[in-house]
Amino acid sequence: MHSKAQGALYDSPGLIEDLMLSKRQGNLVERLLFYSRLHLLIIDELGYMPITREQANLLFQLISMRYEKGSIILTSNYNFDEWGKVFEDPVVASAIIDRVVHHASIFYISGESYRLKNKLKKAN
């Protein structure tokens, strides 16, 4: 990133709650614009909590606004073929996946949890 570039890291439940709150307060468009102007948006733990249809639609709006305009890094413990289980609406899940993977570099990481591994080392 350039020195003036801005990025932000959010856990997905917190980001989604922020979008829900902005919608309730009537300033969703302004909040979506804020997120769309970031050079890099990192969304951590997507799928950690179930995502309702309303939440999925808000997330779709965000990703759609950023599509081909800014970078997104997503982390999830689910493969794309499992996102239908995470999102209440499989159609929205498919639309999000379509935009996310279009220009993506995808990395699959497997193996033991580093947190568990470190905890076990400390216990010994």
Is the pLDDT score of 2 beyond 60? Answer: no
Give the global pTM.
0.84
Taking each helix axis from N to C end, the angle separating 53-66 and 12-25, rounded to the nearest 10 degrees, works out to: 100
Confidence of residue 123 (pLDDT cuts 50, 70, 90): confident
Q: Which two tokens stand for residue 30?
A: 């302004």
pLDDT at 100: 94
**Locus of tokens 């949890």:** 113
Is the pLDDT score of 20 beyond 90? Answer: yes
Is the pLDDT score of 1 beyond 50? Answer: no
Q: Where are the domains of the chain?
A: 7-123
Q: Which two tokens stand for residue 92?
A: 């929205």
CATH class of 7-123: alpha beta
Is the pLDDT score of 46 beyond 90? Answer: yes
Is the pLDDT score of 113 beyond 60? Answer: yes
pLDDT at 4: 64
Is the pLDDT score of 33 beyond 60? Answer: yes
